[in-house]
Amino acid sequence: MSKPAIDLDNLPYADGDFYSFEELLSDKERSRLAEVRAWLTAEVRPNAVAWWNEGSFPQSLIPRLAELDSMSPVHRQGYSNLFAGMMHAEFTRADTSIATFIGVHDGLFTGSIELLASREQQEEWLPDIYAFRKIGAFGLTEPLGGSDVAGGTRTTARRDGANWVLNGAKRWIGNATFSDWVVIYARDVEDNQVKGFLVDTSLPGYSASRIENKIALRTVENADITLENVVVADDFHLKGANSFHDTNKVLKVTRLSVGWQAVGQQLAAFDVARRYAVERQQFGRPIASFQLVQQQLVQILGNAMSSMGMMVRLSQLEDAGTAKDEQSALAKAFTTARMRESVAAGRNILGGNGIVTDYEMAKIFSDAEAIYTYEGTQEMNTLVTGRAITGISAFV
Ligand code: FAD
C-alpha cells in the first residue's frame, strides 16, 4: 500500500508562525490580517511571477488596492505598529515588488506627508493619497549620493519670492515613472539644510526615465529623475521638513517595515522550499526525507523566527513610543543578513529549478538583494549601531 500524500496545509506550523507571534495581535487585528492574507493569495501571488518577468508595474492592481483599503494602518486606521509590520510581511510573502510599491507609496511618500507636512497640507493632500487617486514616490537618493546622502545631497532648492526653484538629479526612485507626485529632498542654498517638497510630476523641467535591466524587484519601476529649474510654490514645501533630522523621522519608521520585509521574504522562501521538498522525489523518496534537506528547511525557519522575534519587539517599542534609530538599524542589518542565508538555502533546495522564475524561488532569491541594499545598506546600519554602542562614529 502506498503512503498517503502529505497534506502540507494541515501539518502543524503550516503557516510558518512557529512561535505563535500572531497571537500578540488583538482579535480585530488578527481577523484583518487574515482578510489581507486571503486577498493577497487571490490577487497577488498567482500573478506575481508573470508581472516580474514582464518587468513593469500592473496598473490594473491600483484600483484593487484602493478597495483593499490598507493604507496608513497606524496613523489613519489606528492599528498597532505590530499589526502594520505583520501585514507588510504578508505583502512581501505574496510578492516583494508589490510590497515595495506599498512601502514607497504608503511608507516613504505618505509617511513624509503624515510626519512632515502641516495640518492644512495634510488635509488637502492625504484623501487622494489614501484612496490611490494620487500615487506618490520618495526622492532622496542621488546618482552621486547614496549612503552619504544626509551630508551629500547635491540637489538644490533656491527660494525665489513665493516659489522655490529645484535643480538636480535623483536615482532609484520607486514608482516615479508613473507617480503623480514625488517628495523631493533638496538642499536649501541659503541655510544648507535639506528640505522636502511635494513635486507634481507634470511640472516643466521635471523628467523621469525608467532604470532597465534590473535583476531584483523587476515589477517595481525605479527611475532616474532630472530636475531643471522646476518651480514649486512655497505651499508645496513640507512645513516640517527643514533638515535631514526631519527626513530621518520618516526613515526610522520605514526601516522598521523593511525589517518586516526581511521576515516576509524568509517566510516566502520557507513556503516554497518546504512544498518543493515534500513533492520532489529523488532516489525514490521525497527530498524532504533526507536529513541534510531537513536541516536546511529548519535553518530557514530558525532564521525567519529569530528575525520575527526581533521585529515583534522593535514594533512593540515603536508602539510604546520608545524605539530608537539604532534599534531599527540593527534590526534591518540583522534580519536582512538572515534573509540572505535563508533565500540561498531555499534556492539550493530547489536545485536547478531554483534558478528559473517559474518556481517562484528565483524571484524570491533575487528580490532579497534589493531589500539587502535599500533603506541603508548592511554596512551603514551596522555603523549606525556601532556608533550607538561605542559613542564613536566610524562614518562621519
Ligand atoms: P553606495 O552608497 O554607493 O554604497 C556602495 C557600497 O559601499 C555599499 O556596500 C555600502 O554599504 C558601502 N559603503 C558606503 N559607505 C560606506 C562606509 N562609510 N563604510 C562602509 N561601507 C560603505 N532611494 C530613494 O530615495 N527612493 C527610493 O524609492 C529608492 N528605491 C530603491 C529601490 C531599489 C531597488 C534600490 C536598489 C535602491 C533604492 N533606493 C531608493 C536607493 C537606496 O536607498 C540606495 O541604493 C542605498 O542607500 C545605497 O546607496 P548606493 O546604492 O548609492 O550605494
Return the pLDDT at 6: 84
Q: pLDDT tens, 251-278?
A: 988 999 999 999 999 999 999 999 999 9
Q: Which atom of ligand 1 is nearest to the CA of 380?
A: 11
Residue 395 in domain: no
Q: Are residues 237 and 327 in the same domain?
A: no
**Out of 8-12, 46-50, 72-76, 88-92, least confident range:** 8-12
Residue range(s) defining the domain that contains residue 375: 245-390
Confidence of residue 189 (pLDDT cuts 50, 70, 90): very high
Task: Assess whether 59 and 177 both reside in one domain.
Answer: no
pLDDT-above-70 percentage for the chain: 99
The pLDDT tens digits of the residues spanning 33-44 come to 999 999 999 999
Question: Torsions phi, psi of 143, nearest 5?
Answer: -60, -35
- Could you say which of 201, 226, 243 is where a domain stops? 243
**Which tens digits make up the pLDDT trace of 142-162?**
999 999 998 889 999 999 999
- Please state the pTM of the whole predicted model: 0.97
- Quick check: 134 pLDDT over 80? yes
Q: Which ligand 1 atom minimizes the distance to the CA of 170?
A: 25
Kindly state whether residues 271 and 206 are assigned to the same domain: no
Of the residues 68, 103, 130, which one is the last residue of a structural domain? 130
User: In the prediction, which pLDDT does 14 show?
Assistant: 87
Dihedral over Cα of 142, 144, 148, 150: its sign: negative
Q: Does residue 4 surpass a pLDDT of 80?
A: no
Q: Is position 281 within any domain?
A: yes
Beta bridge partners of 164: 159, 232
pLDDT digits (tens, 9 = 90+) for 111-126: 999 999 999 999 999 9
Whether residues 208 and 320 fall in one domain: no
Query: Does the structure show a pLDDT above 50 at 383?
Result: yes
The verdict on 143 and 270 lying in the same domain is no
Our mutation pick for probing the ligand 1 site, out of 101, 153, 377, counting the most ligand atoms within 8 A of Cβ, is 377
Residues 148, 112 within the same domain: no
One domain for residues 282 and 196: no
Q: Pocket of ligand 1, candidates 141, 182, 392: which has the most ligand atoms within 8 Å of its Cβ, to mutate?
A: 141
* CATH code for position 111: 1.10.540.10
Contact assessment for residue 241 and residue 232, using Cβ atoms and an 8 Å cutoff: no
13 domain-assigned: no
Centre of ligand 1 from the C-alpha of residue 349, in Å = 30
Q: Is residue 79 part of a domain?
A: yes
Average pLDDT, stretch 173-188? 98
Q: Pick from 64, 97, 130: which residue ends a domain?
A: 130
Q: Judge if 111 and 155 occupy the same domain.
A: no
Q: Indicate whether 276 and 384 sit together in one domain.
A: yes
Per DSSP, the residues of 176-207 read: TTT-SEEEEEEEETTT--EEEEEEETTSTTEE
162 & 146 share domain: yes
292 part of a folded domain: yes
Round to whole Å and give the CA distance between 260 and 340.
14
Rounded distance, CA 338 to CA 54, Å?
Answer: 29
pLDDT, mean over the chain = 96
Q: How far is the CA of 266 from the centre of ligand 1 (A)?
A: 22
CA 11-14-295 angle, 5° bins: 90
Domain count, the chain: 3
User: How far is Cα 360 from Cα 272, in angstroms, rounded to an integer?
Assistant: 7
Written as one string, the DSSP assignment of 137-153 is: EEE---SS-STTHHHH-
Q: Does residue 290 have a pLDDT over 80?
A: yes
- The answer to whether position 14 is within a domain reads no
CATH code, 164: 2.40.110.10
Query: Radius of gyration of the chain from Cα atoms?
Result: 22
Cα of 372 vs centre of ligand 1, distance in Å, is 10
The pLDDT, as a whole number, for residue 1 is: 46
Per the domain annotation, does 307 fall within a domain? yes
- Beta-strand pair 136-139/181-188: parallel
Whether 266 and 379 map to the same domain: the answer is yes
Instruction: Identify each DSSP E strand in the chain by its residue range.
Output: 136-139, 156-160, 163-174, 181-188, 194-200, 206-210, 222-233, 281-282, 285-286
Cell of 152: 551629500
Same domain membership, residue 253 and residue 379:
yes
Considering the domain boundaries, does residue 348 fall inside one?
yes
